[in-house]
Structure 1
Amino acid sequence: MLSFYLIWSLSYFTLLWWVSRFWTSIKNEPVNQAFIPAVTLIIPFRDEAKNIPSLSLNLKKLKYPGLEILLIDDHSDDDSFQLLDKSFEENQNFKVIRSDRKGKKSALEYGVKIASGQIILCTDADCGFPEDWVEHMILPFQNPKVQLVAGAVMVEGNGKFIEAFQSLDWASILLMTKYTFAQKEPLMCSGANLAYRKEAFQKVNGYEGNRDFASGDDEFLLKKIHKMYGKEACFYLSSPDILVITKPEPNWQALINQRVRWASKWKAHFSLSHAMSAAGVFLMQLIWIGSIFLIFLGGRGVLAFGLVWLIKVFAEKLSLGKVLKNLDKQQSNLSIFQTSFVHPFYVLRVGIGALNGKFTWKGRGNGRSVNLESEN
């Protein structure tokens, strides 16, 4: 058992070192002033009244010429629609519209249908972005083979451990996202920072076949476009120039509920690589948790336990630290140390929740228990 865990921890270190090699530190990519395609920014929203002031300020800072902005209301129960409508009533480039059906995917599909831009850019109502975000996100579309561009997303924080934990958790997501894109076999991306050609969205029939799931608008579309257009169709940007900042979840229950919602769509992918990746991550955490039994093997076991976890923490500091440093979002050594110990239990909890498949989000249950398409 001692030998197994020593080999395991060194293998883990090697794996993270290898994956982190694909996270390149590219900054300040110059904008091509001659490339100005028509772009429509679509932001679906539901019950976001508290985020309207910051969203309005962020949107008004965007300087892309002729940018069309569609704010699609997913049947809010608060006064989000009225606040946004009043905020942009004198700007013809902004349109605040109610979706014809319930659900985020329906709101996005409705937005794409009426969009005038040939490039669709998406984010969420609780996010912030640089003023030249649009210019940098559309650059890869200069290559006619590129149909979808995904960008990095990170949470903001003020020093609380739960926020530092989410920052490091996001860094692990970004690390694996960048790696799978580099291997031309992308597994995931974030709808909070996503662009694609309107024509490609229409050719893959949008979210047809996936509308019953309350989450996954980003991943389902990624898989469809990758399958139809090939390995060169999807591109990932990791520069701080396109970094979108989202709000952290306020407590552990909200965070776990969010991650269960994200993870619960695994059954819908019908992908061996996706299923194996999910199972591999789950098994990896079980092995880390199982290392606790080393303590009961006496002095040598205690030393082995300490060494194994020291290697784990060091591996995560090097790899996740590289991601955070590139995005100017570094965390303290203490936060990394704490997160390294908590993370396996957190992943195990989310995994069990995903197997159960039940969650609520903004008053709605998951798609299999509440068919969003049939609601009036």
Structure 2
Amino acid sequence: MLNFYLIWSFSYALLLWLISRTWKSDHFKFPGNQIGKAVSLLIPIRNEIENLPDLVKELHRLSRLDLEIILVDDQSEDLSLDFLKHNLSEKPNIKILKSPGIGKKAAIEFGVKNSVGEIIICSDADCSFSSDWVENMVRPFSNPKIQLVAGPVMSIGRTSFFQRFQQIEWSSILLISNYFFHSGNPVMCSAANLAYRKSAFQEVNGFEGNESFLSGDDEFLLKKITNRFSSESCVYLNNPEVLVRTKAIKDWSSLINQRIRWASKWKAHNSLSHGLAALIPVFIQIIWLLSFFILIQIQNGPVVVLICWTVKILAEKWFLGKVLETYSISQKWSDTLFTGIIHPIYVLWTALGVIRGKFTWKGRDKMRSVILADKIEQ
């Protein structure tokens, strides 16, 4: 047992090193010329009244003058739609639509259908962007083979450990996402920072076949486009210039609920790579947690546990810090230590939530979303 955990800890560090090798400091080189194709920014809206004042400011900051902006209301139960109409209806480049369907996927499909852009770029209402974000995200489409471009997302806020914990977790998500894209088998991306050709979306029939899942508009589309056009048609940009920032989750319960929603779709992919990407992190954290049993059961157990967890914390500090440094985010040793200890419990708690199969999202729960989707199909 002692030998196993000594080997395990150094193998874990080696794994992080291998994954981090794909996180290059010389990022994707943007083509010198701007892409001449029409671009539409699509943002689905549901119960976002608290975020809309900030979103309006962010939209005004975007530098691309010919950008079409489409805001699609997904059956909001607050004053979101009224706010949009009151503040943006007179802007000639902004369309405010009400989705006739139910769910985020229906809202996106309705937005794509009513767009004029050859390139669709997507984000969320609680996000902020650099002024040239759109321009930089769409430049890879100057290569006709590129059908989809994914970009990094990072939470905002560093005043509390909980906020900094989210940033460290986001760094791991970005590192893994970048690795799978780089290895030619993309399995993860975020709808908060995603662009694709409208023609590719139409050719794979959008979200057809995935409507009953409340989450997954990003990953299902990524899989479809990868299968249809090959993995080389999809690229991941880790440049600071295309970073999208999202507001931090307010409490632990909401964060875990969100992660359960994200992870709940893993079975739907029917893919070995997706299954392994979902299950391996859970097994890794279980092994780390089981290491505490040798504290009392084996002589010299405390020394071995200390060595193993020291290796773990050092590796995470070094390799996840590499990601955070890309976006000029510092990482405290205390945050790394507490995150390294808490994260295995957090992952296991999320996995148990996925098994239970219950989560909510903006007034909708999993079971209700499936029922509503079935009604739409009928």
TM (norm. structure 1) is 0.97
Name the residue aligned to 2:282. Answer: 282
Cα deviations by residue, 1:91-143 (Å, 9 ceiling, x for unpaired): 10011110011100000000001100000000000000101001100111111
1:229 aligns with 2:229: yes
Name the residue aligned to 2:262. Answer: 262
Q: 1 CA distance for matches of 2:81 and 2:23?
A: 39
The AA in structure 2 aligned to 1:105 is K
With over 3 angstroms needed to count, the CA separation of the structure-2 counterparts of 1:371 and 1:32, relative to structure 1, is: farther
The AA in structure 2 aligned to 1:311 is V
Contact 1:31 1:136 in 2 (8 A): no
Q: 2 CA distance for matches of 1:360 and 1:68?
A: 32
**Deviation, structure 1 residue 28:** 9.2
With over 3 angstroms needed to count, the CA separation of the structure-2 counterparts of 1:220 and 1:248, relative to structure 1, is: same
Cα deviations by residue, 1:210-229 (Å, 9 ceiling, x for unpaired): 00000000000000000000
1:328 aligns with 2:328: yes
Unaligned runs of 5+ in 2: none
Q: 2 CA distance for matches of 1:29 and 1:369?
A: 41
The AA in structure 1 aligned to 2:338 is Q
Name the residue aligned to 2:93. Answer: 93
The AA in structure 2 aligned to 1:156 is I
Q: 2 CA distance for matches of 1:369 and 1:104?
A: 11
Name the residue aligned to 1:294. Answer: 294
**Deviation, structure 1 residue 51:** 0.6
Q: 2 CA distance for matches of 1:343 and 1:40?
A: 38
355-364 or 14-23: which moved more?
355-364
**Equivalent residues, number:** 376
Name the residue aligned to 2:152. Answer: 152
**Deviation, structure 1 residue 27:** 5.9
With over 3 angstroms needed to count, the CA separation of the structure-2 counterparts of 1:144 and 1:30, relative to structure 1, is: closer
Name the residue aligned to 2:62. Answer: 62
With over 3 angstroms needed to count, the CA separation of the structure-2 counterparts of 1:221 and 1:134, relative to structure 1, is: same
**Deviation, structure 1 residue 328:** 1.3
Name the residue aligned to 2:177. Answer: 177
Q: 2 CA distance for matches of 1:330 and 1:321?
A: 8
Contact 1:364 1:370 in 2 (8 A): no
**Deviation, structure 1 residue 330:** 2.2
State the SS of the aligned residue for 2:231. coil
290-299 or 68-77: which moved more?
290-299
Q: 1 CA distance for matches of 2:89 and 2:278?
A: 46
Q: 2 CA distance for matches of 1:231 and 1:362?
A: 33
**Deviation, structure 1 residue 26:** 3.7
349-358 or 363-372: which moved more?
363-372
Cα deviations by residue, 1:309-337 (Å, 9 ceiling, x for unpaired): 00000010111000000011222111111
With over 3 angstroms needed to count, the CA separation of the structure-2 counterparts of 1:367 and 1:150, relative to structure 1, is: farther
271-280 or 180-189: which moved more?
271-280
Name the residue aligned to 1:112. Answer: 112
**Deviation, structure 1 residue 34:** 4.2
State the SS of the aligned residue for 2:172. helix
Q: 2 CA distance for matches of 1:51 and 1:277?
A: 32
The AA in structure 1 aligned to 2:230 is G
The two structures, once aligned, show a CA RMSD in angstroms of 1.5
State the SS of the aligned residue for 1:33. coil
State the SS of the aligned residue for 2:95. strand
Name the residue aligned to 2:212. Answer: 212
Percent of aligned positions with the same letter in both sequences?
49
Name the residue aligned to 2:166. Answer: 166
Name the residue aligned to 1:9. Answer: 9
Name the residue aligned to 1:313. Answer: 313
**Deviation, structure 1 residue 35:** 2.1
Q: 1 CA distance for matches of 2:339 and 2:48?
A: 30
With over 3 angstroms needed to count, the CA separation of the structure-2 counterparts of 1:30 and 1:199, relative to structure 1, is: closer
Q: 1 CA distance for matches of 2:368 and 2:215?
A: 11
Q: 2 CA distance for matches of 1:75 and 1:228?
A: 32
Contact 2:45 2:76 in 1 (8 A): yes
Q: 2 CA distance for matches of 1:288 and 1:60?
A: 47
The AA in structure 2 aligned to 1:113 is K
Cα deviations by residue, 1:34-73 (Å, 9 ceiling, x for unpaired): 4221000000011111111110000011111310000000
Q: 2 CA distance for matches of 1:30 and 1:84?
A: 34
State the SS of the aligned residue for 2:300. helix
**Deviation, structure 1 residue 185:** 0.1
**Deviation, structure 1 residue 158:** 2.8
The AA in structure 2 aligned to 1:6 is L
